[in-house]
Structures are given as structure tokens and as C-alpha cells.
Amino acid sequence: MTTRTCRVGIHGRNNEEWHDIDFQVLRDAGVEVIKPMSHTRPHHFERMRRELPNAEIITRLYNGAFNKGGHPSASEFAGEMIPVITNLKPYCTKFHIHNEPNHASRDEGWSNSDEDARSFNAWFIEVFRRLKEAHPWASIGFPGLALGEHSHRERTWLKLCRPAVEMADWLGVHCYWQTPPGQGPQLLDEALGMNFKHYHSQHPDKTLEILECGNSNIHSNFPISDEAIADEYVRWLQEVFNYPYVNSASFYILSSHDTSSWSFFCWRTEHGAIKPMVYRVGAMHRPRWIPVHTPKPEPQPTRPVDTPAGLTNQMVINAFNRAALSLGLDGWELLNRAGLDLKALARDQAARQALYSGPKLAQLPNLSDEQRQLIRAQLPGDVSFAAVGYSGFLKEDAELLLISLALPPQVWLRNASSALETRVARAWNRYGNLLSSIADRLGIDLALAVAAVAAEHDPRGLASDHRLVLRFEPHLFFQRWGRQHPDRFAAHFQFDPARPWQGHRWRAAAAKPWRDVHEDLASEWAAFDLARSLDTTAACEAAALGFAGLLGASHAAAGYQSAAQMLDAFASSERFQVLARFDLLAGPGGGSRQIDALRAGDLETYATLAAGPNQAARLAAIWRSAVAAFHHATL
């Protein structure tokens, strides 16, 4: 597609007050539509308009009186909203009345029966009439209904509310889907992710606003990673861009103070960690936007684009990868379509750093002109082989936040025979593409980058259910909190005073039996959650996080504002665990003595700096064995 009518949006924070990081998310995700609630403080609307002047604002008219007991009358609701709309006129002209009134729980003032539908239809018409009389300039829409005919009788409601829908200026719709384990996502199912197609079939003259959308696996307890959700959101948007009657699609939700209910959907955590979908949607390919119902211009032919000279194979690999991801494709699909041999390009570090000598971009088969342009846009205009020398932290590097973690299976390592070889193979197979780019950034041998992840650690940072791997340390929690609250600490935690790193036990209450903290991951999390209920900061700082067991107290050295923020980032993606491993090793800007030793291939000096002289020989030997295992497996 060369044009689109659908703009990319997000439902705003469901709280009166927003925070600076909310606006950072809006900017980083390239949000084009913001959907705040009407009780959001007016100065936040002013900031939206100031910082994102081209974004459209669609306000959800909200009243807290909707509940199981009923709802305000049409005159009460309209009377409350008329001055609200007056105050928002400088910032917003588009509003929708209420939200999901058909929800079977009756939390929104009605339920899902025919009688409820007819009642809401009459209520909406009266509210709409009163609002329009007061504000004829306002564009007022029919709200999104709770999704699902079986549970919420959504499509029956759509029929019964036809008079209200036809009166409204536009029609809202919700599109949610799930991804059961072992199955593909339901994002293209016409009753779920493509639900808007039914609305268009019933009301072909209405412009549609997708007021809520996203993956809702949390409702079925299906495990899924935030990286996978980010992939789904890009793929889904690329499909929605094909429908010229859709004006916007707003994902649920920017952020929420109610983390117990909505943290799964949030695009950032309350501790300030930004989730992968923000970066992926921000970097996504977006065809040129045109307003709904305007004639589409004829696509202009594009000139063939050549691959610039002086590029390494790694740069070409990353360009194809990022272009594919920006289109919602598998990360290696464009490279495979073009017939490039990824296994040869990525064979070893020498091959990756070699100059690309394949066909020019314009000569590669099976690519459209648009795809070639996207690939070329990812290639650096000025080629530099001096990868060393950057500022800040690796976790802030745009490319490292966007490229695929892993290479495809045809370049995986197999047939490992020892525990160390298994860890090396697992590190490469899980993070090989990211490790290759990190090695380039830091100017170290690729085998050493793999060893940094695998030599001392099992590189699995998320369990099979996508919970963060962590180890809670009661003795460290005692140092940070228990010393000031000895009785409360002793009621729940124990450790060996002579060997404080041993004898770790916990119990939920005095009447409960003691349990080994490190019995399994469920016990680790239960002990950690208990500690977190006593003091969040101390608990997060006393936990070893991710595959490398990075202590929460080291958060600042890895570029995080708090241990809780680092924990949230690690839980959202193993990518942040890998980047933190190297940020702690290299320091901001990559100028540490340890990384200098690795650049020189001096494992003895590195090991002395990392572990001290007494453990240096042992550590250097482990790293040397890991390097040998990697080279042996990739021959």
C-alpha cells in the first residue's frame, strides 16, 4: 500500500494526572491519535497539543457514576459534560459518549440484554441531542462495545442501537484478540482483530474509529512476551492500513495507576520502564496518510535504489531485518525473498565484518520498490568501521532496541555435548543477532560477546510462562529494610547469620510452615512479592534479576532510575537483560577497563578486574572454554 487513512493511536492514561514518561511514550511511539478521558486534567490536554501538534485528540466522556447500580440520567450526564466539552474546545473537537455499555458485568450501568440495548439506545439519543444543541461544532461518536457476541451480545446490541449509531457523527469499535500457546494469533479473525469489518458491513457510510485494540491474553492466562505482542501490533496495523474507512486505531492503554487490573496492557510500567511495543510501533513503516473519504492519488513510480558501497554484511543483515519488522513481517522474510544466503553472511565474525559483495539492492529479486526504499532507509549513508565510541548506554541505542534478538534456525548452533557448550548454543540461538550488533558496537570479538552471556550463566532470562527469572536474597533485604524492622523481618524471613548467603527461608505468616526461598521460581517470586509488600525499593534492590543475576541495587550503573524500573524492563524482554549485562561490563560510552581488556583479547586482565586476583585464573579459563566452544560449533 502507498497510502493509508488509519492513524496510529493509544488510549490515554486512565487517571486524572499524567506523568512526563507518558508523553515520552507518545513521542517515541509516533502516536498520531491520543484518546484521553474527560477527567484528565486540562493542563495535560494543553501539553498534548503543544508537544504533539499534529495528533488528533478523541476524548472519552467519562462519568464515575456508571456502576452495577445503574447510570446517570441523560440530562444529568449531558449537564455534566457540556461544560467539560466547553473547556476542551481549544484542544479537542471529537468525543465519544461512554464506553462498553453492553458489558455483561453491568459495571458500565447496563448489561447485555435486549432491554438494556434499547434503554441505552434511547439514553444515547437524548445525550447526543443535548450535547449537539450546546456544541454543534463537536464531532460526537457512538462508543465501542464490549467485544463478543457470546459473552456481551455485541452484534445484537449493534443492531438494536441502529437509530443511535445512525444519529452519531461516527462509529466506535473495539478490536481485541488472543494468541493461545501453540497457535497463531487471532488478530486477523473477523470476530476479533478484524471486528471492524462487520461494523463497516452494517454501517458502510460511517467512518470508524477503533477506540480500543490489542492483545488480551491476560484474560485467558495465556503466556506471551511483550516482544511477541510488539510483533503482533505492527503486523495488525499493516493490515488495518488497507481499509480506507478506518480513521484511527488506538491501543489500550498508555498507562494505569491500577496495576492489578491493567498492567498487562500498559505501554509503560508505573516504575518508568518502556515496553518493546513503543519502540516497534515508533519505527514501523507508515504509508503516507490521507483523510478518510478523500480520493487516493495515483502512486508515483519510485526510482531503483542501489546498495551504497562500503557496507559490511552485518549492516546489510540489520537493514533487511529492520525493514521486514517495520512491515509486520517475520524478521528474515525480506532477506529470504531476495535470495541472500544469511548463513553465509553470518557465518562468523570475519564474514559479518567483511564488505558486502552481493548484488546491488536494485538487482535483488522478489522485492517491491517500496520494500527496497525501506531497506535503503535503514542503511547508513556514511559508513564507518570504527564501531567503538558511543555515548550513553546500549539500552538507549535505537538499532539495538529494534532488531531481532535471534537469527533464524538455519544459523543456530546444535549438537552441544557439555553443559558449557549447551549454554553457548542457547545464548547464540536466543540472542545471536543482538549479540552480533553488540560486538560491533563495543569492538570486541563475537565469541567474547557470546561468552559474556554464556560462560557463567544459563542464558534463559524468562521462564516458559514468561515470568522473569530472579533470585531473592533475604540477607540483602535485611540490610536494606529488616535491620530497621527486626521483628517484622523475623516473622517472615530467615538466613544463616554465619553464612548469610545460605539458609534462606520464608513464610507468609507466623502460623505457616517455613519454606526454602530457592526451592523453585514460584517460591522465589512468592518470597519476593511478600518482601515487596513490606518495602518495594528494598525488595527490588535485594533481588538478583534475569539470567545474569544482576542485582537490583546495581540499577544506576546499568542506566536505570530505580531497581523497580530495571525489574520491569527485564520482565518485558530478555533484550534488556542482555543489554544490561554489557552496559554494566562496558560502562556508559563503552570506556571501562574491562571492555578495553576484552577488545585486546586479554582475558587474564579482564578476569582480574571482574573477579579479583584469587578468582582470575578460574574465570579466564571458563571464558576461554566458552570461546573455544563457540568457534568449534560454528566451524
Q: For 56-67, how does the pLDDT look when each residue is reduced to its tens digit (9 = 90+)?
A: 999 999 998 998
pLDDT tens, residue by residue, 141-175: 999 999 999 999 999 999 999 999 999 999 999 99
pLDDT, mean of residues 30-55? 97
Strand 208-215 with 246-251, pairing: parallel
- Contact in structure between 332 and 321 (CB atoms under 8 Å): yes
Q: What is the DSSP track for 397-458? A: -HHHHHS-SS--GGG------SHHHHHHHHHHHHHHHHHHHHHHHHT--HHHHHHHHHSSS-
**Span 473-486, average pLDDT:** 98
Percent of the chain with pLDDT over 90: 89
pLDDT by residue (tens digit) across 169-206? 999 999 999 999 988 889 999 999 999 999 999 999 99
pLDDT of 385 > 70? The answer is: no
Q: Please state the φ and ψ torsions of residue 603, each to the nearest 5 degrees.
A: -70, -30
pLDDT value at 539 more than 90: yes
Sign of the torsion angle spanned by Cα atoms 474, 479, 481, 487 = positive
Mean pLDDT to the nearest integer, 286-298 = 81
What confidence tier does 388 reach under pLDDT thresholds 50, 70, 90? Answer: very low
pLDDT (tens digit per residue) in 576-610: 999 999 999 999 999 999 999 999 999 999 999 99
Over the stretch 208-250, which tens digit does the pLDDT of each residue have? 999 999 999 999 999 999 999 999 999 999 999 999 999 999 9
Q: 463, 469 in Cβ contact below 8 A?
A: yes
Residue-level pLDDT at 259: 87
Q: What is the mean pLDDT of the chain?
A: 94
pLDDT score recorded for residue 383: 54
| Cell numbers 462498553: residue | 100
Helix locations, 287-332, DSSP H? 313-326
Query: Which range (73-77, 288-292, 310-314, 389-393) has the least confidence?
Result: 389-393
Supply the angle between the helices 446-454 and 574-586 in degrees, to the nearest 10: 110
HSE of 111 in the Cβ direction (CA atoms, 13 Å)?
8
Residue environment code for 431-460, b if the CB has 16+ CB neighbours within 10 A, otherwise e: bbbbbbbbbbbbbbbbbbbbbbbbbbbebb
pLDDT of residue 386: 41
Distance of CA 508 to the CA centre of its chain: 33
DSSP E strand boundaries for 12-65: 33-35, 56-61
Span 359-363, average pLDDT: 93
Grid coordinates 458489558 are at which residue? Answer: 103
- Domain coordinates of the chain in residue numbers? 3-289, 306-385
Q: Of 122-131, 341-350, 362-371, 462-471, which range is least confident?
A: 341-350
| DSSP conformational letter for 37 | B
pLDDT reading at 513 higher than 80: yes
Residue 393 has pLDDT above 70, yes or no: yes
Give the Cα separation of 305 and 314 in Å (integer): 19
Q: Is the pLDDT of residue 415 over 70?
A: yes
Which pLDDT belongs to residue 387? 46
pLDDT value of position 175 = 98
Lowest mean pLDDT among 253-257, 328-332, 408-412: 408-412
Which of 235-239, 409-413, 559-563 is the least confident region? 409-413
Res. 384: pLDDT tops 60: no
Strand order in the sheet with 543-545: 470-472, 543-545, 550-551
Class of 3-289 in CATH = alpha beta
Grid coordinates belonging to 560: 536505570
Structural contact between residues 398 and 280, judged by C-beta atoms closer than 8 angstroms: no
